[in-house]
């Protein structure tokens, strides 16, 4: 029998250093939490903090979900979802012209970022990403015990030349958010393709380039890059898309990765078999086909963007011209302003954790939400003596 006893241990949880150093992802505050904290009616709260579609999702999705829940034979209910997402991959394949063996479904593209880091990163490896970019790149890299190489941004956007130069022999993945969150900047398709080409010519399949395109549907049609078409020539490219933003399915959780079949095979090895639930698969299948709703969401966002941009100009508040459904604006005493807005029932996103302590990010809402935000912001700035 072992001589060791419990007292030989420090009686502390033993956690890898990389995990101890993790700062958890700070999501936009949920409506119910703000209602509880500030004694407000949840119905009156305006959440402009997580870049969700303010129109919700397509009524056709609602109908499909209701039909599924009310008519589906009992023999189907209670079953695990299709582990291979056959139908959803089928419609994606047809819509985007990518073979199903190049598609991986995820519980949001967030999970796909995790899956990529599980498959391609380990201690001793590194990943390259930009400062002021999507925080999950850093978190998922760190959680694998791999090293993150954060490259300074250029005018709050991605500096692709510097990112290329930052690649080291240990680097296995480069993360490119385009458009970028939380700054709203965008790089033209041509710049992305020449970056991908440079990386492939120098490093071949040794370095993956992950093109995270969560906001692509909000781009003007003439700007929308056809990144999926890059995969054939550049097998090191992984394209991530999500149903959480323009399609409005953030609450259902579904996204996909398009990649070379070999990369897809590796992703599939570490993916949980039932990672995308049945309702999410169904919802995405229906959402993809409702182009009218997508168009309506695009138009509504375009109008809201114009309205908010003009309001910032009128108030003399510097902001980043946006290619997305949110706007980053400058605000000295950002934390206090965000707090004062919360007390008025308006939730915006502080971005100090993204290295931007003097900015706030506001998601573009419906016309009435945008107006309420502008009114609340000008009242707050008046009260704090910060108005122009």
Ligand X SMILES: *Cc1c(COP(=O)(O)O)cnc(C)c1O
**List of residues contacting ligand X (CB under 6 A):** 51, 108-110, 134, 177, 181, 212, 214, 242, 244-245, 250, 255
We find the least distance from the C-beta atom of residue 49 to ligand X, in angstroms, to be 12
Contact between 205 and 12 under an 8 Å Cβ cutoff? The reply is no
We find the least distance from the C-beta atom of residue 51 to ligand X, in angstroms, to be 6
We find the least distance from the C-beta atom of residue 180 to ligand X, in angstroms, to be 7
Q: CA 215 → CA 48, 184, 185, 196, 292, distances in Å?
A: 16, 9, 11, 20, 17
Nearest to 255 by CA among 119, 136, 112: 112
Nearest to 337 by CA among 352, 323, 324: 352
What are the helix (H) ranges across 21-81?
31-38, 59-71
| DSSP 3-state of 243 | coil
Query: Contacts from 312-321 at CB under 8 Å and sequence distance 24+?
Result: 315/374, 315/377, 315/378, 315/381, 315/387, 315/388, 316/388, 320/156, 320/183, 320/184, 320/185, 321/184
Output Rg (C-alpha) for the chain, integer angstroms: 22
> Residue 248 or residue 345: which is nearer to ligand X going by CB?
248
Residue number with the shortest CB distance to ligand X?
108
Q: Residue 80 and residue 95: Cα distance in Å, rounded? A: 26
> Residue 159 or residue 371: which is nearer to ligand X going by CB?
159
> Residue 109 or residue 236: which is nearer to ligand X going by CB?
109
We find the least distance from the C-beta atom of residue 27 to ligand X, in angstroms, to be 10
> Residue 280 or residue 342: which is nearer to ligand X going by CB?
280
We find the least distance from the C-beta atom of residue 326 to ligand X, in angstroms, to be 9
Residue 329: CB atoms within 10 A of its CB come to 22
> Residue 214 or residue 294: which is nearer to ligand X going by CB?
214
Contact between 176 and 158 under an 8 Å Cβ cutoff? The reply is yes
> Residue 177 or residue 199: which is nearer to ligand X going by CB?
177
Q: Residue 84 and residue 327: Cα distance in Å, rounded? A: 37
We find the least distance from the C-beta atom of residue 265 to ligand X, in angstroms, to be 22
We find the least distance from the C-beta atom of residue 153 to ligand X, in angstroms, to be 14
> Residue 144 or residue 245: which is nearer to ligand X going by CB?
245
> Residue 128 or residue 311: which is nearer to ligand X going by CB?
128
| DSSP 3-state of 149 | strand
Residue 150: CB atoms within 10 A of its CB come to 17
We find the least distance from the C-beta atom of residue 164 to ligand X, in angstroms, to be 20
We find the least distance from the C-beta atom of residue 83 to ligand X, in angstroms, to be 19
> Residue 214 or residue 374: which is nearer to ligand X going by CB?
214
């Amino acid at each position: 029998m072992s001589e060791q006893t419990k007292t030989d241990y420090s009686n502390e949880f033993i956690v890898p250093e990389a995990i101890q150093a993790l700062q958890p992802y700070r999501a936009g505050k949920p409506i119910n939490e703000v209602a509880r904290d500030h004694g407000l009616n949840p119905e009156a709260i305006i959440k402009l903090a997580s870049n969700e579609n303010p129109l919700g999702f397509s009524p056709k999705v609602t109908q499909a979900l209701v039909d599924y829940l009310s008519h589906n034979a009992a023999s189907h209910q209670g079953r695990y979802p299709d582990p291979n997402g056959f139908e959803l991959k089928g419609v994606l394949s047809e819509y985007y012209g990518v073979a199903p063996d190049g598609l991986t479904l995820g519980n949001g593209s967030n999970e796909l970022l995790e899956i990529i880091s599980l498959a391609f990163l380990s201690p001793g490896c590194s990943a390259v990403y930009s400062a002021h970019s999507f925080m999950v790149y850093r978190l998922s890299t760190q959680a694998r015990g791999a090293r993150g190489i954060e490259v300074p941004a250029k005018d709050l956007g991605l500096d692709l030349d510097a990112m290329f130069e930052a690649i080291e022999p240990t680097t296995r993945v480069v993360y490119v958010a385009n458009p970028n969150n939380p700054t709203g900047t965008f790089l033209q398709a041509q710049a992305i393709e020449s970056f991908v080409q440079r990386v492939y010519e120098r490093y071949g399949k040794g370095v993956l380039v992950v093109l995270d395109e969560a906001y692509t549907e909000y781009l003007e049609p003439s700007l929308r890059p056809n990144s999926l078409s890059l995969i054939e020539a550049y097998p090191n490219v992984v394209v991530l898309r999500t149903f959480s933003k323009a399609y409005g399915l953030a609450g259902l959780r579904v996204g996909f990765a398009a990649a070379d079949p070999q990369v897809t095979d590796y992703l599939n090895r570490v993916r949980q078999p039932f990672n995308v639930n049945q309702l999410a698969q169904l919802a995405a299948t229906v959402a993809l086909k409702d182009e009218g709703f997508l168009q309506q969401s695009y138009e509504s966002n375009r109008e809201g963007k114009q309205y908010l941009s003009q309001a910032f100009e009128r108030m003399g508040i510097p902001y980043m011209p946006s290619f997305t459904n949110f706007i980053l604006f400058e605000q000295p005493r950002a934390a206090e302003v965000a707090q004062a807005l919360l007390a008025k029932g308006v939730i915006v996103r502080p971005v100090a954790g993204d290295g931007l302590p003097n900015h706030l990010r506001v998601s573009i809402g419906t016309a009435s939400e945008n107006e309420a935000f502008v009114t609340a912001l000008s009242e707050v700035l008046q009260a704090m003596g910060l108005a122009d």
